[in-house]
Structure 1
Amino acid sequence: MTVARLTLDPSFVVGPVDRRLFGSFVEHMGRCVYTGIFEPGHPRADADGLRTDVLDLVRELGVTTVRYPGGNFVSAYRWEDGVGPVGDRPRRLDLAWRSIESNAFGLNEFMRWAALAGVEPMMAVNLGTRGAAEAAELVEYCNLADGTAAADLRRKHGVARPHDIRLWCLGNEMDGPWQIGSRTAEEYGRLAAQAGHAMKRVDPSIELVACGSSDADMPTFAAWEATVLEQAYDQVDYLSLHTYYDPERGDEASFRASAVHLDGYVDDVLATADHVRARLRRTKRIRLALDEWNVWYKSRLVEPEDRGIEDTPALIEDDFTVTDAMVVGNLLISMLRHADRLTVGCQAQLVNIIAPIRTAPGGPAWRQTIFHPFAQTARLARGTVLRPALTAPLMTTGRFGDVPAVDAVATLDGRTLTVFAVNRGTEPIPLHLDLRAFGGHRPGEHLVLANDDPHLSNTAEHPERVTLGSSRSTTEVLLAPVSWHALSFTLEERQ
């Protein structure tokens, strides 16, 4: 066996860990909202119909930010449909997923849920079928105290204090032909600039996320980003990235190395944004929001036009494996590696829809395998991300060629050092941690997610089949095949 070596030094820093990196996504799609986070009549529902068993798992997951209400859903959404007395709200055909939207759960219900979950809302505005005026009015409804029509309407709806939402998405995937109201880069860039200008006139303190490409395989990738930013650079603070990784697309080794793609994707978008900054002679640097990412068995998707119209269809409720969990842990390592500019992340989605949390209507909620690396990274990755020096044996992939079989990153929070590592190969690999730059250290906890069967999943019948193992951390560790690890150390004070 060839040894992997990871050398760390507190002088080599990427940047601070932004807590918004550990966000998630709630869309009015399938069973994410209805029978997911909201199910009146469920044995664990509170007086507002919110599932408290799901809330408990959301808190355990450590989610910090939640994007709402879409996703494709937002591109034809009328936010006014989801406020006011529930009995007066219209039932609508959602054009994105061809399902019936009852509007029993809307903006103010979401904000009540977000407060209970302890998460920051990330609100999306409809720039598919609507425009700058409606977007500015929604900011007014949410963020102004009183004295205007929209703010007073919120107060009439029983919400006296403003929601004070800081983070806003200017539409969703506007380059996608599947999107209701998709646009060219020139059209969207102009609209994003107009909407952003109007929204910041209502509340200058908000932060705005412009739509980047829907994924790096779009034919307009990079040209889209450049054109949008050339028109909206002064109005926006973030540019979005979306990416999903399909275990059934291509060879398995390439899937296990999905983080190699994410590394390149982030680097390419940053290069494009910085090129525009130089062309426009601006000093502000655009940050990135990876506000949709996950493993997704996308090849199994039944397209909306191929389904009948349903009330609450069970859409893309994938069962995740040990391998999928390792990949999710590796994607989080990649995100931390770019923490100086990638400061918002939203795993899509939170409940049922390719999610870390699954529920049964009227029944239990349980943790999928991917729950564990997310929850522990969100809990342990604090302080500052360190830039490691890593050497590792190579593995061969069909898509990326030869890549390191081991990937890792580390964070330093006061005297707590945490190393996150994966073995994405199919053989065990010894990992040596060189921590001499820190002086003395004491071992902490070593968490590991691995299994002899990398295709094992958790189910409603067997919700604890895949869980975390725990032992004492050490600087000499054997990484099992297809495994995720978090090793913590307490640094001793220098004399």
Structure 2
Amino acid sequence: MTTFTKLDDGGQPCITVSPYHRLSKVNDNVYGGFAEHMGRRIYGGIYDENGFRKDFIQSFKDINCPVVRYPGGNFVATYHWIDGVGPREKRPRRLALAWTGVESNQFGTDEFMKWCELVGTEPYLALNFGTGTLEEALAWLEYCNSTQDTHYANLRRDNGREKPYYVKYWALGNEVWGPWQVEQMTKEDYAKKAYQWAKALKLVDPSIVLILCRETGHSEWDFYTLKECMKLDLHGLGGSAIASLIDMHSIHIYTASTDPVKNAIAPRAAERAIEICGSRIDLARIQNNVPPTVPRQTICFDEWNVWEPQRAVGSEGAEEKYTLSDALAVGVWLNVFIRQSKYVGMANIAQSMDVISPLMTAKDGLIKQTTWWPLLLFSKYMRGWSVATHVSCDAYNGDSEPKWMRAACDTPWLDVSATIDDDGFASMVVVNTHLSEAREVDVSGLKVGAVVTAQAGVPSRRLLTNITVFDPPDNYSVPRTLYARVRKLDCDGDNTLLATWENYIPTGNSTAPCPDSCPVNPYIPVWVSTDLGETWSERSRVYDTQNGWGLRYQPELYEMTESIGNFSTGTLLLAANSIPADLSETKLDVYASTDKGYTWTFVSSVARGGDAFPENQFEPVWEPFMFIYDGELVFYYSDQRDPNNTLGQKIVHQTTTDLRTWGPVVDDIVYANETWRPGMPIVSELPFGNWIMTFEFFGAVEAEFAVYYRISRNPRTFGSKPDHALVATDGTVPRGSPYNVWTPAGGPLGTIVVSDGNNPELYLNHNLGGGAWTVLNTTAASSYTRALMVMPDDPAIIMIIGGGVLGGEDNSVQVTTVKIEPNLPKFGRCNAGSRANATGYRRQH
């Protein structure tokens, strides 16, 4: 446990650790997982068309997860295990009522057990208390655990498994108190049914651990079911006075808040729930005269996480995109389980893949979200015994979510737990939940001369400074290169980066790097790096195969995150402006690659315009940008085609559901002034369902081509949203050809990062577009439109790619990386410690 002394603001924080004052054993099962048939969790997560996903198996081994709950969750209320065993071609497809889907039953009991053996984890099965029967539950237990010559044990043998699985943990239903459940029950009906099922199940196998269904730990349901079910039953246990029918009591709580501080501290409400539930277990035992010879029942916290169901809807797969604030909340959650290890016998993060998960799958790889890293740190270091710890610091005094927590819980800014393992290594986690202030902490209690190390997250690597991607030959035309773009192949799984740019080959010159079949046509180059930008080589060239003009301007790369029409997830799209040599027309064409950029095929034309000049009397289309949203590819561009000749330029978009046919032109940014010209649209997704579009605005009062932005809940409705001028706190007004990305690093709400074409600096915002913009100096050179990319191995590092400046005579394509937040502070001033391995993570702006 951790005690707390509240200091006034400005007081010197201090943490005192007593590593030899062991309090309670930390059960390894607090690092348990959960695999429900929900969204992509099973099909595409654990299991795909090639069988078990090996990349997920390895990641799961990294956290040494000891136990995994299956198959639900709400799903279990209509699940019949018998449907999921035997020959797969004979397994029935069933309606899955919990998440309004269809269950194929191609992954069932035997597949789950085999997967558990592969990853080295123990199975935990939940019984169907909705449409299921006691007979069905007894049959499943027999199938899994029996050594007898009986029907269901023999069925297991017929299905290829001679040895029993010996499943230890069994849940008596799931959330049957909830109105969303099939066969919702009252607490009275549930307690009666659960107790009778427990007696029967332990007749089949008295060694199993039975887990009682719960609510929040502090509800009337919890106390009633505890009192009715946690009692000595000599008849039900064959006369034993050293065992219990019910071994654990389940709690489910999810936390979330749009306020980053409330979000980070919310798991402290779960800590109070654990304390209340633990006391109620004791009270039930006292009132039921349970003798001390019966082991004390513990809490199974078998669903916990950060989840806001309105932003990650369960029936739509519940795929949360986590922020730094969420990672801090997960750190606090895990601190809670360490501090309350006296009561907690198991905890299962909900869930382990894709569905509100720290791990997300792509077709050919995994994405480790911010919440993965605290889970990894805890699972590596925070084992053994919890030790006495005292924290003195100031505290958060504002409102909380849930509201009752404000009066029931302390909320220090520093959330701390500590352990010592069997080898005598002490570990401590400190989570600083303050929105903007770092803390320097005195740490005492360890022996003088201790070796103290710090773990703060992902190991850093060297930053890149103006690494040359492509230096064109001397015979290239001015400006040689321009308008560079870079993309990480998220579906590739091996840190592959692709880059492209405007390529000013010396058209008509026989020495030009272009084959004889197209001696006068410019092409768009595609180059590749497989070492995160250190080195680059050519992968392919994209030629204009439709118009005979050449792909001259404004290439844009995109990797499809889901299937559209006949094009599958992972397909690469390249959009570019096809323009004849006399610049008399513009045509935004799309090409596709299904082999990671080696070969390209024309797909469709989106828009066609007039002369390629940026003056108002001409009517070109320019500057494409695209991504998938809500089952459509949304394609933005700048449009000078005004039939009424009352507008200079506007930003528009069109959409497609098949990549072949395109919907009508929809206005996004339009000003009723023929001299005003918004352009260069770039759109990024933000947390909590918001989107940001940045653009340059010729006509702005702040500066010529000042960078503006708009925020929208729907990326197809920017047209109705207000303008915001980007002005930094030092008065800098970025100008021209902006680019933006959002990263979860840099603050509780992550960071919006914006570049411009006039300065080498970047502009950072830690409040989802509200509040201050700060300037970050970089070593990158100025370039006309500097594209940005969040590095896949460290979200605090941003790659900048530039192709040079307009009119530049020595332009080349270069990449630079920059860290958007300083290195995390060291662990603090340590007065002592013997063989101490102190682990923690802190954040600082």
Same fold (TM over 0.5): yes
> Partner residue of 1:307?
none
Structure 2 distance, partners of 1:467, 1:155, is 52
Check 1:329–1:474 CA distance in 2 against 1; reply closer, same or farther (3 A cut).
Answer: closer
> Partner residue of 1:353?
355
Structure 1 distance, partners of 2:147, 2:18, is 48
Structure 2 regions of 5+ residues with no counterpart? Answer: 1-9, 231-243, 459-743, 752-788, 798-821, 831-837
Per-residue deviation, 1:247: 2.6
What is the one-letter code of the residue matched to 2:299?
A: L
> Partner residue of 2:19?
10
Per-residue deviation, 1:395: 1.6
Moved more, 420-429 or 395-404: 395-404
> Partner residue of 1:374?
375
- Residue correspondence of structure 1 range 292-371 to structure 2 within 5 A: 292-302=303-313, 304=315, 314-360=316-362, 362-371=363-372
> Partner residue of 1:291?
302
Pick the structure with greater CA Rg.
2
- Residue correspondence of structure 1 range 200-349 to structure 2 within 5 A: 200-213=202-215, 215=216, 221-233=218-230, 234-248=244-258, 251-282=259-290, 283=292, 284=294, 285-302=296-313, 304=315, 314-349=316-351
> Partner residue of 2:396?
395
- Residue correspondence of structure 1 range 420-431 to structure 2 within 5 A: 420-426=429-435, 427-431=437-441
CA contact (8 A) 2:255 2:305 kept: yes
CA contact (8 A) 1:2 1:430 kept: no
> Partner residue of 1:433?
443
Structure 2 distance, partners of 1:66, 1:358, is 17
CA contact (8 A) 1:253 1:398 kept: no
Moved more, 327-336 or 124-133: 124-133
Structure 2 distance, partners of 1:61, 1:466, is 21
Q: Is structure 2 residue 771 aligned with structure 1 residue 418?
A: no
CA contact (8 A) 2:144 2:167 kept: yes
**Counterpart pick for 1:444 among 450, 453, 468:** 453
Check 1:94–1:39 CA distance in 2 against 1; reply closer, same or farther (3 A cut).
Answer: same
What is the one-letter code of the residue matched to 2:792?
A: P
**Counterpart pick for 2:39 among 3, 15, 30:** 30
Structure 1 distance, partners of 2:457, 2:361, is 25
SS of the residue 1:411 aligns to: strand
List per-residue Cα deviations over 1:1-42 (Å, max 9, x = no partner).
4332111223433211211110010000010000111001xx
CA contact (8 A) 1:444 1:487 kept: no
CA contact (8 A) 2:113 2:123 kept: yes
> Partner residue of 1:148?
150
SS of the residue 2:60 aligns to: helix
List per-residue Cα deviations over 1:380-413 (Å, max 9, x = no partner).
1122110211111112231244721001011111
Q: Is structure 2 residue 385 aligned with structure 1 residue 384?
A: yes
Structure 2 distance, partners of 1:227, 1:486, is 41
Per-residue deviation, 1:341: 1.6
The alignment's TM-score, normalised by the length of structure 2, stands at 0.52
- Residue correspondence of structure 1 range 3-152 to structure 2 within 5 A: 3-40=12-49, 45=50, 49-152=51-154
> Partner residue of 2:163?
161
What is the one-letter code of the residue matched to 1:243?
A: I
CA contact (8 A) 1:60 1:375 kept: yes
CA contact (8 A) 1:292 1:348 kept: yes
Structure 2 distance, partners of 1:381, 1:446, is 12
CA contact (8 A) 1:54 1:365 kept: yes
SS of the residue 2:750 aligns to: coil
SS of the residue 1:418 aligns to: strand
Bigger helix fraction: 1
Structure 1 distance, partners of 2:307, 2:840, is 28
Per-residue deviation, 1:462: 4.9
What is the one-letter code of the residue matched to 1:486?
A: T
Per-residue deviation, 1:184: 0.7
Structure 2 distance, partners of 1:320, 1:19, is 25
Structure 2 distance, partners of 1:145, 1:350, is 31
What is the one-letter code of the residue matched to 1:342?
A: V
> Partner residue of 1:454?
748
Structure 1 distance, partners of 2:412, 2:226, is 34
CA contact (8 A) 2:13 2:440 kept: yes
Identity %: 31
Q: How many residues align?
A: 455
Check 1:195–1:461 CA distance in 2 against 1; reply closer, same or farther (3 A cut).
Answer: farther
Q: Is structure 2 residue 152 aligned with structure 1 residue 186?
A: no
Structure 2 distance, partners of 1:151, 1:464, is 47
Structure 2 distance, partners of 1:315, 1:303, is 5
Structure 2 distance, partners of 1:423, 1:461, is 24
Q: Is structure 2 residue 485 aligned with structure 1 residue 476?
A: no
Structure 2 distance, partners of 1:59, 1:2, is 42
Structure 2 distance, partners of 1:421, 1:448, is 13
Structure 2 distance, partners of 1:470, 1:373, is 17
CA contact (8 A) 1:167 1:206 kept: yes
CA contact (8 A) 2:260 2:325 kept: no
Structure 2 distance, partners of 1:30, 1:76, is 16
List per-residue Cα deviations over 1:317-344 (Å, max 9, x = no partner).
1111111001101110011101112020
Per-residue deviation, 1:198: 1.1
What is the one-letter code of the residue matched to 2:12?
A: V
Check 1:467–1:165 CA distance in 2 against 1; reply closer, same or farther (3 A cut).
Answer: farther
Structure 2 distance, partners of 1:246, 1:462, is 27
CA contact (8 A) 1:242 1:292 kept: yes
SS of the residue 1:444 aligns to: coil
CA contact (8 A) 1:446 1:471 kept: no
What is the one-letter code of the residue matched to 2:839?
A: A
CA contact (8 A) 1:246 1:299 kept: no
Structure 2 distance, partners of 1:357, 1:265, is 27
Structure 1 regions of 5+ residues with no counterpart? Answer: 305-313, 478-484, 489-495
SS of the residue 2:40 aligns to: coil
List per-residue Cα deviations over 1:73-131 (Å, max 9, x = no partner).
00111000000000000000001111010001001001111111111111111111123
Bigger strand fraction: 2
List per-residue Cα deviations over 1:255-302 (Å, max 9, x = no partner).
221132111111111122111111001134220011000001222254
CA contact (8 A) 2:261 2:325 kept: no
Check 1:84–1:122 CA distance in 2 against 1; reply closer, same or farther (3 A cut).
Answer: same
Structure 1 distance, partners of 2:284, 2:153, is 37
What is the one-letter code of the residue matched to 2:226?
A: L
CA contact (8 A) 2:431 2:840 kept: no
SS of the residue 2:116 aligns to: helix
RMSD: 2.4
Structure 1 distance, partners of 2:277, 2:792, is 39
CA contact (8 A) 2:324 2:746 kept: no
Moved more, 390-399 or 108-117: 390-399
SS of the residue 2:397 aligns to: strand
